[in-house]
């Protein structure tokens, strides 16, 4: 049975490979960074299993590993890898191979789509082929392996060259690949430290009680602000809902809960478009596309996000108190 854990082991193998290559090239800080990350990924299941069984030590070591990664990250300078292949060579290859180059690239979304739609029905002698949790992501991992096979066939290049090219791209992304995971961990720590309840307490203390419009604006802008801080609308939603949405808007002013919930969440999504804290949507793509500014994607989103936010607030005002 294919489980998401296999994908994590593949990632761990790739990270450790990257670390070992750096070790051979005597980039010790880079080597340490990718090796620690690889070990964390490889041992992730064991850490979670031990925590669930009540043994905290592996998780604590994992926490130490995270701190080590944070101390190593500032030492990773982006280094320009010499390209293995000049632009002229690539152009010749592009002319020779033509549309067949698209086939492996399109296999990634296509195989993922097929697994997401039909993976649940596939079985070999009564055993389901794909485990139900995270089936789409398992499909994505499978699609990447299939695509690498296909790419190697199409380009008539051995697969290990592909892994080496992948490592070049991973180096170009560097530490920003790590931010989404760290921000998810930060969200957990914030929740456990009561940051959300403290902000909600301040917000309710400052809020004028009488006006429905003022409460609605505070709710919508609070969703945006809190999402900008936490990087995630899902973290902002329960806090703003418990602080303003439920007691003031729904209970006192009679707002429609379905509309308030749905559109309130969308206000948060506008915040996600604005914040470096949503690293996986904003900073990682900037690194992937090799933009010179890490905030390039956010800059391209500001105008759209504010326009969508304004529209959503107006729609809320029109419909929520019907």
Partner 1 sequence: MNYWPLLGVAVIVVGFVLRFNPVLVVVTAALSSGLLAGLSVPALLALLGDSFVASRMLLIFVLTLPAIGLLERAGLREHAQRWMARLQGLTLARLLVGYLLLRQLLAMLGLTGVAGPAQTVRPLLAPMAEAAAEKILPTLDDADRDELRAVAAATDNIGRFFGEDVFIALGAVLLIQAFYAQHGIALSPLAIAIWALPTAIAAFAIQSARVWLYQRRLRQRAAGGRGKAAG
Whole-number minimum distance, CB 124 to partner 1, in Å? 23
**Footprint of partner 1 on residues 50-79 (CB under 8 A)?**
51, 56, 58-67, 69-71, 73-74
Whole-number minimum distance, CB 82 to partner 1, in Å? 13
Residue (101 or 221) nearer to partner 1, CB: 101
- The Cα 135–Cα 115 span in angstroms is 7
Which among 23-31, 85-93, 119-127, 214-222 is the span making contact with partner 1, rule CB under 8 A?
85-93
Is residue 140 a contact point for partner 1 (CB under 8 A)? yes
Whole-number minimum distance, CB 23 to partner 1, in Å? 19
Query: What count of other Cβ atoms lies within 10 Å of the Cβ of residue 105?
Result: 13
**Footprint of partner 1 on residues 93-132 (CB under 8 A)?**
93-95, 97-99, 101-102, 104-105, 108-109, 112-113, 116
Residue (201 or 211) nearer to partner 1, CB: 201
Give residue 231's region: left, alpha or beta (phi > 0; psi -120 to 50): left
Whole-number minimum distance, CB 127 to partner 1, in Å? 23
Nearest to 233 by CA among 196, 206, 264: 264
- The Cα 7–Cα 144 span in angstroms is 10
Residue (138 or 218) nearer to partner 1, CB: 138
Total of residues contacting partner 1 (CB under 8 A): 151
Whole-number minimum distance, CB 182 to partner 1, in Å? 5
DSSP string, 239-302: HHIIIIIIIIIIIIT---HHHHHHHHHHHHHHHHTT-TTSHHHHHHHHHHTT-SSTTHHHHHHH
Which among 20-28, 121-129, 208-216, 260-268 is the span making contact with partner 1, rule CB under 8 A?
260-268
Whole-number minimum distance, CB 125 to partner 1, in Å? 28
How many CA atoms lie less than 13 Å away from 15 in the CB half-sphere? 23
Is residue 49 a contact point for partner 1 (CB under 8 A)? no
Site mask for partner 1 (CB under 8 A), range 6-45, x = bound:
-xx-xx--xx------------------------xx-xx-
- The Cα 19–Cα 28 span in angstroms is 9
Residue (124 or 205) nearer to partner 1, CB: 205
Helical segments of the chain, H only: 4-24, 28-42, 44-52, 57-72, 87-97, 102-118, 135-155, 159-173, 179-193, 195-206, 212-230, 233-240, 257-272, 279-288, 296-319
- The Cα 25–Cα 2 span in angstroms is 35
CB-count exposure of residue 204 (10 Å: 0-12, 13-18, 19+): middle
Give backbone dihedrals phi and psi of 130, rounded to 5 degrees, phi first: -115, 135
Site mask for partner 1 (CB under 8 A), range 207-246, x = bound:
----------------------x---xx--xx--x----x
- The Cα 131–Cα 120 span in angstroms is 8
Whole-number minimum distance, CB 83 to partner 1, in Å? 8
Residue (22 or 127) nearer to partner 1, CB: 22
Whether 316 and 259 have beta carbons less than 8 Å apart is answered as yes
Whole-number minimum distance, CB 321 to partner 1, in Å? 14
Whether 251 and 296 have beta carbons less than 8 Å apart is answered as no
**Footprint of partner 1 on residues 161-190 (CB under 8 A)?**
161-170, 173, 175-190
Which among 21-29, 119-127, 212-220, 294-302 is the span making contact with partner 1, rule CB under 8 A?
294-302
């Amino acid at each position: 049975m294919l489980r998401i854990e296999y994908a994590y082991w593949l990632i761990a193998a790739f990270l450790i490979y990257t670390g070992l290559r750096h070790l051979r090239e005597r980039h010790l800080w880079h080597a340490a960074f990718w090796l620690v990350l690889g070990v964390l990924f490889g041992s992730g299941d064991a850490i979670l299993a031990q925590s669930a069984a009540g043994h905290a030590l592996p998780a604590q070591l994992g926490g130490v590993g995270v701190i080590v990664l944070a101390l190593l990250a500032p030492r990773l300078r982006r280094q320009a890898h010499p390209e293995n292949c000049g632009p002229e060579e690539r152009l010749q290859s592009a002319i020779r191979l033509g549309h067949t180059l698209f086939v492996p690239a399109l296999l990634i979304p296509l195989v993922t789509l097929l697994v997401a739609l039909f993976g649940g029905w596939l079985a070999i002698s009564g055993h389901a082929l794909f485990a139900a949790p995270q089936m789409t992501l398992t499909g994505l991992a499978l699609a990447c392996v299939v695509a690498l096979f296909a790419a190697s066939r199409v380009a008539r290049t051995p697969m290990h060259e592909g892994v080496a090219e992948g490592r070049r791209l991973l180096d170009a992304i560097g530490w920003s690949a790590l931010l989404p995971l760290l921000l998810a961990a930060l969200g957990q720590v914030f929740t456990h430290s009561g940051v959300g309840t403290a902000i909600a307490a301040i917000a309710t203390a400052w809020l004028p009680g009488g006006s429905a419009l003022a409460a609605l604006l505070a709710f919508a802008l609070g969703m945006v602000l809190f999402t900008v801080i936490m990087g995630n609308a899902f973290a902002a939603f329960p806090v703003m809902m418990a602080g303003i949405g439920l007691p003031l808007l729904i209970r006192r002013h009679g707002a429609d809960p379905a509309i308030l919930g749905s559109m309130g969440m969308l206000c948060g999504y506008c915040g996600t478009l604005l914040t470096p804290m949503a690293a996986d949507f904003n900073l990682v793509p900037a690194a992937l596309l090799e933009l010179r500014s890490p905030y390039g994607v956010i800059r391209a989103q500001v105008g759209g996000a504010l326009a969508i936010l304004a529209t959503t607030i107006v729609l809320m005002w029109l419909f929520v108190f019907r």
